[in-house]
Amino acid sequence: MRRHLIDIVRRSGPVMVPADDAHNVLTVETPERAVALGELLDQLAQAHPEWCTVVEMKHFLGFSDEVTGRELGIPVRTIQRIWHDARKWLYDRQERVRPAELNGPK
């Protein structure tokens, strides 16, 4: 699902992905940010596969904590912790990517 959404952004331009709160780092402003987010999610999948699954289920599929926990067989509180940790992981790495780096050399 996320790869499909990122491909759409690459082809058609900026898209706002709904954010559930002000600290959600998954809001996409530009195609470059969408591509960078896709790469970050690939890195997250390598480092923490379970975290990536929770991010995909909650953000891209819109599942609640309860539904995500039920589908994965994980307690709701653990889902909430993973969601928090995964967003922090993504935010910390996303902040390192400067707009000039996203646009390439001039």
pLDDT in tens, the chain (106 residues): 566 555 655 565 554 445 454 445 566 567 777 778 888 999 999 999 999 999 988 988 889 999 999 999 999 999 999 999 999 999 888 877 655 454 554 4
* Residues in the chain, overall count: 106
Does this model's pTM top 0.75? My answer is no
User: Hey, what are 15's tokens?
Assistant: 């898209």
Closest C-alpha to 43, from 55, 31, 32? 55
> How many beta carbons lie within 10 A of that of residue 104, not counting itself?
7
Which residue, among 38, 68, 36, has the nearest Cα to 50 in the 3D structure? Answer: 68
Amino acid identity of 50?
Answer: E
Q: Is 18 left (phi over 0), alpha (psi -120 to 50) or beta?
A: beta
User: At 12, which amino acid appears?
Assistant: S
What is the reported pLDDT for 22? 42
Among candidates 54, 52, 44, which has minimal Cα distance to 94? 44
